[in-house]
Amino acid sequence: MIVEYGHFALALALAVAILQTGVPLLGVAFQRSVWMDFGATAARWQCLLLLTAFLCLAYAFLSHDFGVIYVAQNSNSALPWFYRLSAVWGAHEGSLLLWVLILSGWGTAVSLRSQQLPQDIAAIVIAVLGLIGTAFLLFLIGTSNPFLRSWPAPADGADLNPLLQDVGLIVHPPLLYMGYVGFAVPFAFAIAALVRGRMTPAWAAWARPWTLAAWVFLTIGIALGSFWAYYELGWGGWWFWDPVENASFMPWLLGIALIHSLVVSEKRGSFKNWTVLLAIGTFALSLLGTFLVRSGVLTSVHAFATDPTRGVFVLAILGTIVGGALLLYAWRGPSALAGGSHHVVSRESFLLANTLLLTVATATVLLGTLYPLLIDALGLGKISVGAPWFNLVFTLVMTPLILTLGLGQFARWKEDSLQRLVKQVALFAVGAVLIALCIAAVLAPTTRWRAAAGVLLALWIVASVASGVWARVAKRQQPWAVLRALPRSFIGQCIAHLGFAVTLAGVSLTSTQSIDLHTRLAPGDHVALGPYTVRFDSLRELDGANFRASEARFLIERDGVPLYELRPQKRFYQVRSVSMTEAGIVPGFARDLYIALGEPLGDGAWSVRLHIKAFVRWLWLGALMMAGGGLIAMRERRRTSAVGALDALVNPR
């Protein structure tokens, strides 16, 4: 019965979503205050109903209700309870339910914090969120209902995809969705600005925390996915330019551009057109990501949905929402959003160049992801774009991006002079080059210069952050007091930029200084791995809850001193007859030791992957710093009342 309650709640949520869209819009059209406020109430009810539906589905999983088709397909009586819980979003239907639940959650958050917004803007934002919710609820109920039953119920389920049976995967999709769906909020703000024909610095101040929040979630989600791939796939890789990875990477990149453009719109009142366009584009890419993952057009680890009607449905949603937004932009944009002016050499120019470069980076990823699909759809053949291309063009775009990032930090708002800039930059630039040369001296000779170039760029970012702090503190009476009173947005910006530098250094060093060894080993054999000696000690068989495993014991020593013991496993999941690799890893600040079993080769020998992954943890450490910076900048004490007052003076209506 519980499942039927969930089904009913889902249908009711659709009805509420339709009201959430229609009533506030009518309120705006007819100037009815009560109707406008109704949206906030509807948003909360929608969230409550979807939460009920979600909990009912979770109950079905926990209670082994295999009469529900979705449960039977993705669970098993031998599955531990926490994986049964994560199986709720382990496949298409449930993850879509999570998608709309999170959307309604964002809607509720907006409704709770919208007191400072003008009533009409708040009403339109809530209505746009309701419209997106309506579209996806129709999709969910029409093509992918998780509550459908089959009769008679099967005795046991088909089990959760073993690839997804990992703690990282319990939290990875919800975080990613928080990010994807969160970009619906700045999108809704952009639509509201276009409809009402006014976009003020206060608008940017409202939209910025929401954008940052979504971006922070997406950052953590992507980092977690990368970390999971490193741990769980057993290849020692951390990024594959897989289309689904790209799908989450594109809104992330454009989201950065949006955040920076919002800063200019808030502080200087310019780039309004560009900001609105970026807000639309970022959410469009989020929807595109949903389409790519959900339509089955991709052949990747993630492609668990392969139903063309679903793809067409999502594509229709994508076309309608994004197409509609762009039409609105073409109609209202230029008149609604006149901007301020700035000199060619100014911080605005560097920020503009950077958002453009980020857009180019996003476009190249988009090209590499969609072009093969397009060629295939047109029947012109089957092609794929390899990782080497992505790596090359990314280096090509990121290098100028990082150079202008640094220059932008040095430059002043509105107007600056080249001479002053050069004088400012010179000392820091020389310092960065000298440190990079010192680092190059101790690196492995063959790849020394490639690694050093990456490290130099990272140091350049560090130098620009240091100069930013210095410029605020130097020549002040009480530097410590100034330091403590730095605005949160500035502290967040510094931490995020430093995080970018850490990730960049990690990428440069991991990809050049690591040691990869694929070899054949039998128990008793040993092999040299860099400065270490690795001995394959023994192999044993063991039974897990729902798998059988071969577990190897490796002993690692250096100069005759035993240091570590690793026990990588090769697991076999009986229900789906699938093998999985559990790598053995010794984590470290400067390097990871990574051993994964390949396959049995007969006579007790195995193929084995052994890696020393230099500075690989820096990738995720940097990502966490970026997310932390975003979080700090987001929580800046609200100045909206002051900004609002200023706003009213500058833009009287």
Partner 1 sequence: MWTIGLLVAGMALATGLILKSFQQNLMYFYSPGDIAAGKAPDGRDFRIGGMVVKGSVKRDTASLAVTFTLTDYAHETNVTYNGILPDLFREGQGIVANGHLNPQGLFEADEVLAKHDEKYMPPEVAASLKTPKTASNNP
Interface residues toward partner 1, by CB under 8 A:
161-163, 234, 299, 301, 344-345, 349, 353, 356, 360, 364, 367-368, 371, 381-386, 388-389, 392-393, 396-397, 400, 518-520, 570, 576-581, 598-599, 601-603, 607-609
Residues 6+ away with beta carbon under 8 Å from 570: 549, 550, 579, 580, 581, 582, 597, 599
Q: Which of 73, 83, 64 is nearest to 159 (CA)?
A: 73
Q: Which of 252, 278, 250 is nearest to 263 (CA)?
A: 278
**Cα 467 → chain centroid:** 29
What is d(CA 134, CA 123) in angstroms, rounded to the nearest whole number? 16
Q: Which is nearer to partner 1, 23 or 357 (CB)?
A: 357
- Residues 196, 103, 93: CA angle, nearest 5 degrees: 140
What is d(CA 94, CA 92) in angstroms, rounded to the nearest whole number? 6
Q: Which of 298, 300, 297 is nearest to 312 (CA)?
A: 297
Which residues are 393's β-sheet partners?
A: none
What is d(CA 100, CA 80) in angstroms, rounded to the nearest whole number? 26
Residue 210 token pair: 């929401």
Do residues 150 and 67 make contact, with C-beta atoms less than 8 angstroms apart?
yes
What is d(CA 570, CA 353) in angstroms, rounded to the nearest whole number? 49
- Minimum CB separation from partner 1 for residue 602, in Å? 7
- Minimum CB separation from partner 1 for residue 431, in Å? 27
What is d(CA 432, CA 647) in angstroms, rounded to the nearest whole number? 42
Q: Which is nearer to partner 1, 364 or 512 (CB)?
A: 364
Q: Which is nearer to partner 1, 219 or 569 (CB)?
A: 569
What is d(CA 469, CA 361) in angstroms, rounded to the nearest whole number? 29
**Cα 610 → chain centroid:** 29
- Minimum CB separation from partner 1 for residue 389, in Å? 4
Are β-strands 526-529 and 515-521 bridged in parallel, bridged antiparallel, or unpaired?
Answer: unpaired
What is d(CA 142, CA 297) in angstroms, rounded to the nearest whole number? 20
- 7 C-beta neighbours (distance < 10 Å), count: 20
Do residues 143 and 307 make contact, with C-beta atoms less than 8 angstroms apart?
yes
Residues 6+ away with beta carbon under 8 Å from 617: 506, 587, 588, 589, 592
Residue 344 token pair: 């060619």
Residue 343: its H or E element: none
Residues 6+ away with beta carbon under 8 Å from 586: 556, 564, 566, 592, 593, 594
Q: What is the maximum alpha-carbon separation in the chain? A: 84
Are β-strands 584-586 and 569-573 bridged in parallel, bridged antiparallel, or unpaired?
Answer: unpaired
Q: Which is nearer to partner 1, 381 or 445 (CB)?
A: 381
Q: Which is nearer to partner 1, 396 or 437 (CB)?
A: 396
Do residues 270 and 341 make contact, with C-beta atoms less than 8 angstroms apart?
yes
Do residues 47 and 108 make contact, with C-beta atoms less than 8 angstroms apart?
yes
Q: Which is nearer to partner 1, 33 or 574 (CB)?
A: 574
Residue 609 token pair: 């992957």
- Minimum CB separation from partner 1 for residue 1, in Å? 34
Q: Which is nearer to partner 1, 170 or 367 (CB)?
A: 367
What is d(CA 335, CA 329) in angstroms, rounded to the nearest whole number? 10
Residue with tokens 């229709």, as numbered in its chain: 316
Do residues 164 and 90 make contact, with C-beta atoms less than 8 angstroms apart?
yes
One-letter-per-residue 3-state SS of 570-618:
EEEECCCCEEEEECEEECCCCEEEEEEEEEEEECCEEEEEEEEEECCHH
- Minimum CB separation from partner 1 for residue 358, in Å? 13
